[in-house]
């Protein structure tokens, strides 16, 4: 099939290789690192709104001046695509290969590809590796939030792809909220109940009508971080000691029953929650308390993504390689200060492979993402960062 961009024609495979929501994903012929997302069955109004949204994202790329590793970490629209009648049908975006969804880790999947086994919670030092994955996610989100125009609203493990080197790719960015001066230009399309903050569950905020601040994303990141590090959702595995009417996780969320907050004495909790004090530093624990306890009543006190990034960097820098016991995946030796502490350099520290920290053991090939009309086969091949494994 032939489609068109503002720079010329683009050929795609007739048969889509994936489907998501109301769109099909097609490989671009002769450009192996690109795909086209083609929408179908949209109402004229929805299609017009989406076209305007994508055009805004293309012309206001928050990662434009970022290091290539950051650019590749968000599957951002590159250019709009039109049919032969010059009607908007979708957009070009980078292709992601050889990756799994973060859900494979947060759900405790027993079967992983052999090259991803290092991320399993029962592996020695997987705690450190998972910290670095979270740092990589926070690095991307902190840049996304830096101009205050974008809020993802639907951050969840299904929307984060992970390579075997611990590099990440955030997908489904087209569902994002776009705003200026706290006024919405384009509303978000969706959020996910399991990761949504209390203001969503108690109906105080409606993402389809209200402006959503970046603190919504900060909360969702906190849920992912807690789940990835402790192997349990912060509001799962809880029972109230006296109130038998509280049965759903939504009720624990809206009631402010964070298992390490002021109401912890009212709860019985599953064993993974008990590793909170054993595994995490006091500074990282404090971030979770700000996110889920203090931030329950006042979202503005939740950590920003830059604050999450800073704390995670410090956590990683405490000890380069902490020995772990496999049974509970916690430090097997008392914490000690690094002899050569590393200070976070926010805004300039490139995203790192989770397996070579810091710096990247070897950046095999890198290139700045280019528009389809300017792509050569050589530059296409070099779009994906390849990081050497450093055991």
The answer to whether position 58 is within a domain reads yes
The answer to whether position 270 is within a domain reads yes
Segment 267-282 shows an average pLDDT of: 94
Segment 115-132 shows an average pLDDT of: 89
Of the pLDDT bands very low, low, confident and very high (cuts 50, 70, 90), residue 318 is: confident
Single out the residue of 358, 230, 343 nearest to residue 285, CA to CA.
Answer: 230
Residue 324 has pLDDT above 90, yes or no: no
Residues 104 and 162 grouped into a single domain: yes
Residue 325 has pLDDT above 50, yes or no: no
Of the pLDDT bands very low, low, confident and very high (cuts 50, 70, 90), residue 322 is: low
Give percent of the chain with pLDDT exceeding 90.
Answer: 71
> pLDDT value at position 41?
84
Which of 310, 331, 352 finishes a domain? 331
CATH code at 255? 1.10.510.10
Which of 331, 363, 379 finishes a domain? 331
Segment 147-166 shows an average pLDDT of: 95
> pLDDT value at position 380?
30
Would you call 7 exposed, middle or buried from its count of C-beta atoms within 10 A (0-12, 13-18, 19+)? Answer: exposed
Residue 71 has pLDDT above 70, yes or no: yes
Residues 89 and 103 grouped into a single domain: no
- The 3-state secondary structure of the chain reads CEEEECCEEEEECCCCCEEECCEEEEEECCCCCEEEEEECCCCHHHHHHHHHHHHHHHHCCCCCCCCHHHHCCECCCCEEEECCCCCEEEEEEECCCCEEECHHHHCCCCCCCHHHHHHCCCCCCHHHHHHHHHHHHHHHHHHHCCCCCEECCCCCHHHEEEECCCCEEECCHHHCEEEECCEEEECCCCCCHHHCCHHHHCCCCCCCCCCCCHHHHHHHHHHHHHHHHHCCCCCCCEEECCCCCCCCHHHHHHCCCCCCCCCHHHEEECHHHHHHHHHCCHHHHHHHHHHHHHHHHCHHHCCCHHHHHHHHHHHHHCCCCCCEECCCCEECCCCCCCCCCCCCCCCCCCCCCCCCCCCCCCECCCCCCCCHHHCCHHHHHCCCCCECCCC
Residues 237 and 107 grouped into a single domain: yes
The answer to whether position 239 is within a domain reads yes
Of the pLDDT bands very low, low, confident and very high (cuts 50, 70, 90), residue 370 is: very low
The answer to whether position 383 is within a domain reads no
- Per the structure, the complete domain to which residue 57 belongs is given by 2-95
Structural domain count of the chain: 2
CA atoms within 13 A on the CB side of 43: 3
Segment 334-355 shows an average pLDDT of: 41
Q: Are 73 and 169 in contact (CB under 8 A)?
A: yes
Of the pLDDT bands very low, low, confident and very high (cuts 50, 70, 90), residue 356 is: low
Segment 211-238 shows an average pLDDT of: 97
Which of 331, 352, 376 finishes a domain? 331
Residues 303 and 161 grouped into a single domain: yes
The answer to whether position 29 is within a domain reads yes
The answer to whether position 356 is within a domain reads no
């Amino acid at each position: 099939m032939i489609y068109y961009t503002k720079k010329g024609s683009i050929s795609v495979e007739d048969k889509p290789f994936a489907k998501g929501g109301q769109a099909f994903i097609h490989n671009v012929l002769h450009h192996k690192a690109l795909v086209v997302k083609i929408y179908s069955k949209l109402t004229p109004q929805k299609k017009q709104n989406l076209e305007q949204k994508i055009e805004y994202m293309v012309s206001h790329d928050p990662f434009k001046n970022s290091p290539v590793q950051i650019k590749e970490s968000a599957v951002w629209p590159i250019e709009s695509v039109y049919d032969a009648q010059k009607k908007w049908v979708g957009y070009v975006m980078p292709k992601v290969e050889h990756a799994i969804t973060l859900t494979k880790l947060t759900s405790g999947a027993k079967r992983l590809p052999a090259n991803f086994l290092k991320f399993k919670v029962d592996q020695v030092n997987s705690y450190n590796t998972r910290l670095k994955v979270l740092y990589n996610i926070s690095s991307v989100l902190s840049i996304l939030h830096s101009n205050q125009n974008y809020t993802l609203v639907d951050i969840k493990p299904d929307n984060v792809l992970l390579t075997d080197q611990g590099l990440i790719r955030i997908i489904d960015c087209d569902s994002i909220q776009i705003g200026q001066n706290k006024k919405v230009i384009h509303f978000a399309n969706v959020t996910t109940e399991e990761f949504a903050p209390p203001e969503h569950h108690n109906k105080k905020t409606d993402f389809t009508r209200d402006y959503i601040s970046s603190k919504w994303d900060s909360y969702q990141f906190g849920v992912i971080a807690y789940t990835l590090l402790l192997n349990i959702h912060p509001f799962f595995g809880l029972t109230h000691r006296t109130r038998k009417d509280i049965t759903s996780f939504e009720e624990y969320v809206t009631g402010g029953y964070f298992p390490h907050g002021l109401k912890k004495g009212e709860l019985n909790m599953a064993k993974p929650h008990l590793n909170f004090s054993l595994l995490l530093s006091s500074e990282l624990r404090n971030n979770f308390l700000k996110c889920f306890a203090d931030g329950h009543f006042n979202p503005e006190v939740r950590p920003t993504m830059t604050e999450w990034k800073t704390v995670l960097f410090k956590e990683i820098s405490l000890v380069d390689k902490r020995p772990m016991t496999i049974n509970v995946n916690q430090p097997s030796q008392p914490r000690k200060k690094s002899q050569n502490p590393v200070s976070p350099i926010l805004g300039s520290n490139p995203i790192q492979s989770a397996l070579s920290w810091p710096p990247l053991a070897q950046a095999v090939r890198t290139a700045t993402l280019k528009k389809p009309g300017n792509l050569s086969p050589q530059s296409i091949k070099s779009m994906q960062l390849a990081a050497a494994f450093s055991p």
